[in-house]
Every structure is written in C-alpha cells, then in structure tokens.
Amino acid sequence: MKVIVYLLGFGHIALCTYLILYTKESVDAMKGMFNTYQLKYLSAIPAVYALLFLMSASATTHPWVFRIIGLLAAAEAVVAFTNPKKIYSQMLDWYLNSVSEQANRLFGMIGVVFGTVILTWIQ
C-alpha cells in the first residue's frame, strides 16, 4: 500500500507543478478533455482517485484524513456522473473560463504542498 501512497504523492506534485509552470497549456488540455469526452466517462477519474485513497489509508500515519479525502472524491464522482441541475457543468465552466492564471497557480501551489504532506505521512 505504500507504493500507492508514493504514487499519489509524487503524481500530485507532478501534476500541480505542471499546472504552476504551464498554466495556460494545462487549462487548455483540461478544456479539450472535457470537450472530447462525456462527463459520465470522466467521472471515473475521481472514482479511481477515491478508491486509491481509501485503499492506501492504512499505510499512512493519519488514515482518517485519507479516508475523508477518499469519501469526498467518491462524492465528487457521483455528482459528476449524475450532474444534477447541471451544477457540475457550471462549476467546470467557471473553473475553465473564469478563474485567473494567478488563481490556477495558487491551486497548483496548494496541490504541491498537499502532495508533500501525503509523502510525509507514509508509515
């Protein structure tokens, strides 16, 4: 299970570093992904993320945090799959079209810190 925690930590750091360094390109890539594939298919991404967090929780010093993150990701997957009242589509539209580059970089910095925290909590 430690391998999954390492993959989550380093993967999170890598993706968020890419978001910091190549903000416009990463947002354009996300726009292309959401324009190409249906939201129901893309809801599998947070579902897998939730599964990985829930499976690897026992290999960390703070398993309750990993379980909460896993449950939140599972809830996101359900909301993305069902998309009630187009709320998830509106949130994506806001994020992809209205958020500034500085805010995206801030999200990336928070993500790098989160990835580092994941790596420090390995037992």
Q: What is the pLDDT along the chain (123 residues), one digit of tens a residue?
A: 899 999 999 999 999 999 999 999 999 999 999 999 999 999 999 999 999 999 999 999 999 999 999 999 999 999 999 999 999 999 999 999 999 999 999 999 999 999 999 999 998
Q: Give CA–CA dist 80/50, Å, rounded.
A: 13
Q: What are phi and psi of 60, to 5 degrees?
A: -120, 165
pLDDT at 97: 93
Q: At what angle do helices 63-82 and 44-56 cross, to 10 degrees?
A: 160
